[in-house]
């Protein structure tokens, strides 16, 4: 049976890891807004360049759609994050209750009702652990989906760099914008890579049992 002294640090650590994931998600949402603004400026620039930048304009519009979809997906992860926080927070409460019930059972071993309640409490903690495990899996899967989306965004950004070369007199300006696109998408990719490696998904799986 896992001891309460080892459970509490594990759950506290999970909570810190979730907070870190949430902060990274908010940062990616902020960057996706930046891509949207950049895309609008790029579309305007492509219109000024005329037919020479038609391909660049199409890709800029696709990047704008990408930024909006990315923001929607990242914001949808907040529901999973909040569910994880709730499970971990309730888990902390469960550990405190288990500590009290265990002490009560030790002091009054003849009170079978206390032992029964402790057993029921342990079963609920086990179910809570299973729910958190399912949420971990769901959150990781959602992050993988977003990562694949960002991979596509990277392809769009690199394609825009190629199209920029055909912009004639606007080529330098288009190249600068497309380079910024590429840099921002790579920044997002790096953030998601970090999240995929989070110890919240690969670390301790101790059950919260008393």
Quick check: is 12 in a domain? Answer: yes
pLDDT confidence tier of residue 210, bands split at 50, 70 and 90: very low
Quick check: is 209 in a domain? Answer: no
Number of independent structural domains in the chain: 1
Q: Report angle CA 35, 37, 41 to the nearest 5 degrees.
A: 110
Is the pLDDT assigned to residue 4 strictly greater than 50? no
What whole-number distance in Å separates Cα of residue 63 and Cα of residue 45? 14
| Residues 92 and 1: beta-carbon distance below 8 Å | no
Average pLDDT over residues 91-110: 75
Is the pLDDT assigned to residue 204 strictly greater than 60? no
Average pLDDT over residues 81-95: 81
| Residues 108 and 114: beta-carbon distance below 8 Å | yes
Quick check: is 205 in a domain? Answer: no
Of the candidates 54, 33, 32, the one whose C-alpha atom is nearest the C-alpha of residue 174 is 54
Quick check: is 208 in a domain? Answer: no
Taking the alpha carbons at both ends of the chain, their separation in whole angstroms is 7
CATH of the domain at 188: 1.20.1270
pLDDT of residue 10: 64
User: In Å, what is the CA distance from 194 to each residue of 20, 28, 61, 188?
Assistant: 10, 12, 28, 10
Q: Is 195 exposed, middle or buried, given 0-12, 13-18 or 19+ CB atoms closer than 10 A?
A: buried
Quick check: is 31 in a domain? Answer: yes
Is the pLDDT assigned to residue 160 strictly greater than 90? yes
Residue 57 belongs to what domain range?
Answer: 4-198
The continuous run of DSSP H or E covering 30 comes out as: helix 4-49
Q: Express each pLDDT in 23-73 by its tens digit.
A: 888 888 888 888 999 999 999 999 999 999 999 999 999 999 999 999 888
Quick check: is 166 in a domain? Answer: yes
Maximum mean pLDDT: which of 65-69, 106-110, 196-200: 65-69
Of the candidates 201, 135, 164, the one whose C-alpha atom is nearest the C-alpha of residue 59 is 164
């Amino acid at each position: 049976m896992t001891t309460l002294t080892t459970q509490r640090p594990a759950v506290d650590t999970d909570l810190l890891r979730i907070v870190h994931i949430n902060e990274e998600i908010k940062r990616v949402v902020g960057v996706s807004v930046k891509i949207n603004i950049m895309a609008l400026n790029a579309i305007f620039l492509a219109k000024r360049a005329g037919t020479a930048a038609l391909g660049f304009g199409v890709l800029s519009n696709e990047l704008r759609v990408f930024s909006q979809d990315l923001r929607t997906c990242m914001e949808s992860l907040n529901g999973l994050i909040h569910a994880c926080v709730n499970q971990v927070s309730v888990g902390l409460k469960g550990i405190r209750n288990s500590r009290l019930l265990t002490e009560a059972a030790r002091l009054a071993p003849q009170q079978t009702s206390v032992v029964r309640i402790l057993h029921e409490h342990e079963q609920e903690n086990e179910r809570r652990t299973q729910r958190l495990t399912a949420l971990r899996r769901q959150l990781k899967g959602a992050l993988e989906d977003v990562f694949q989306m960002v991979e596509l965004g990277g392809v769009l950004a690199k394609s825009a760099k190629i199209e920029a070369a055909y912009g004639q007199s606007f080529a330098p300006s288009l190249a600068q914008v497309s380079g910024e696109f590429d840099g921002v998408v790579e920044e997002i990719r790096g953030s998601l890579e970090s999240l995929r490696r989070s110890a919240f998904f690969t670390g301790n799986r101790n059950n919260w049992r008393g």
